[in-house]
Amino acid sequence: MIIIMKSSATEDQIDHVVRRVQELGFTPHVSRGVERTIIGVVGDERSLARSSFEVLDGVERVVRVLHPFKMASREWKQEDTVIHINGVTIGGGGLTIIAGPCSVESRSQLLETAHAVKEAGAHMLRGGAYKPRTSPYSFQGLGLKGLEILAEAKETYGLPVVTEVMSPDLVTLVAEYADMLQIGARNMQNFALLHAVGKVQRPVLLKRGMMSTIQELLMSAEYILSNGNMQVAVCERGIRTFETYTRNTTDINAIPALKQLTHLPVIGDPSHGTGKWDLVRPVARAMVAAGADGLIVEVHPRPEEALSDGAQSLRPENFARLVEEVKAVWEALRNVEAVPVTTP
């Protein structure tokens, strides 16, 4: 439920509504816009009547949010959320490119990749230090050593870093090194982890589970938002279908659907979405054309030697082409007026 205050509402009237929300056992979330203040009611408000608030002084109207995700919904917040990370922005109309290896394998591998992706125009660096691998016998990541290498690359090339955190007890440590915390597809519904990243003030890149619906993705985002962390971007990284030619099936529908349903930035991952390096560039172009706010792309200087996801990793020169291509798509479409279609 959202309580929209009149533009003439006084501070006392706003405070009174906030106290009433608390008295009824809910958590108020106050957003102060230029025009008016909006108070979100956080909690299971199914039993709550709109009239509980409509009668209060200073209230203009009370709106029920129809979706089960509340704070993540466009009804809750109409304008796009923009995440600011050390001079880089995600959301709000730009195109943010995150690139780097699947895993941090060594200092020289990461520094070489960071240099190459920076030259090609990437805005942020990715690289896994803790890796969620299907097999316990596969490379599991360098752990703390990997975080230290990421910090060095960030320092050297000025690229903010995103890296995966797999368990709640590692959130504080990973947040010391990373500018953005990645929640991987396999952990999208690890609720203890979602709680933990909700409690830190670090932006989160939340990847869609490979067997999760768009609604489930947004419910997971809701966990993070409702725990107090508003800086969340959601990521379409392909889902599992009957198709086996590709590793996953990029759900291109999810990109415009998410843009309608949520104010959170939407990132596309054409690497995991396809699993094949030679499909990454065309699918990246499609994701940008569909309205993605950014991309996360796996790049390796020698994919044949990669310890994880070599088959879907681009060589630096192919990544440079990808950047040129997606920028061209973005430029071509930014001037096309997005006229809202209200009838079929």
Residues that bind ligand PEP (CB under 6 A): 102, 128, 132, 184-186, 207, 237, 272
Helix axes 107-120, 316-334, angle to 10 degrees: 30
CA 238 to each of CA 105, 175, 200: distance values in angstroms, whole numbers, following the listed order = 25, 26, 27
Helix axes 316-334, 277-289, angle to 10 degrees: 20
Identity of residue 121: G
- Which entry of ligand PEP, Mn ion, none binds 207, CB below 5 to 8 A by partner kind? ligand PEP
H runs (alpha helix) in 232-291: 254-261, 270-274, 277-289
Kindly tell me which of 43 and 143 has the beta carbon lying closer to ligand PEP: 143
- Which entry of Mn ion, ligand PEP, none binds 67, CB below 5 to 8 A by partner kind? none
Distance between CA atoms of residues 200 and 181, nearest Å: 10
Identity of residue 54: E
The answer to whether 309 contacts Mn ion (rule: CB under 5 A) is yes
Kindly tell me which of 214 and 280 has the beta carbon lying closer to Mn ion: 280
Q: CB 64 → ligand PEP: shortest distance, Å? A: 34
Distance between CA atoms of residues 290 and 48, nearest Å: 38
Class of residue 276 by CB neighbours under 10 A (exposed 0-12, middle 13-18, buried 19+): middle
Q: CB 165 → ligand PEP: shortest distance, Å? A: 12
Residue nearest to Mn ion (CB): 102
Q: CB 97 → ligand PEP: shortest distance, Å? A: 15
Phi, psi of 55 (to 5 degrees): -80, -10
- Which entry of Mn ion, ligand PEP, none binds 259, CB below 5 to 8 A by partner kind? none
- Which entry of ligand PEP, Mn ion, none binds 286, CB below 5 to 8 A by partner kind? none
- Which entry of ligand PEP, Mn ion, none binds 300, CB below 5 to 8 A by partner kind? none
The residue range among 91-99, 230-238, 255-263, 302-310 that interacts with Mn ion, by the rule CB under 5 A, is 302-310
Kindly tell me which of 58 and 128 has the beta carbon lying closer to ligand PEP: 128
Q: CB 210 → ligand PEP: shortest distance, Å? A: 7
- Contacts for 47 with CB less than 8 Å, ≥ 6 apart: none
Q: CB 91 → ligand PEP: shortest distance, Å? A: 20
- Which entry of Mn ion, ligand PEP, none binds 133, CB below 5 to 8 A by partner kind? none
Identified binder of Mn ion from the candidate list 3, 62, 102, 204, rule CB under 5 A: 102
Q: CB 89 → Mn ion: shortest distance, Å? A: 25
CA-CA-CA-CA torsion for 185, 92, 173, 105, nearest 10 degrees? 60
Kindly tell me which of 138 and 156 has the beta carbon lying closer to Mn ion: 138
Kindly tell me which of 92 and 310 has the beta carbon lying closer to ligand PEP: 310
User: How distant is the alpha carbon of residue 152 from its chain centre?
Assistant: 24
Phi, psi of 102 (to 5 degrees): -60, -55
Contact 126, 116 (CB under 8 A): no
Contact 187, 132 (CB under 8 A): yes
Q: CB 98 → ligand PEP: shortest distance, Å? A: 10
Enumerate binding residues for Mn ion (CB under 5 A): 102, 309
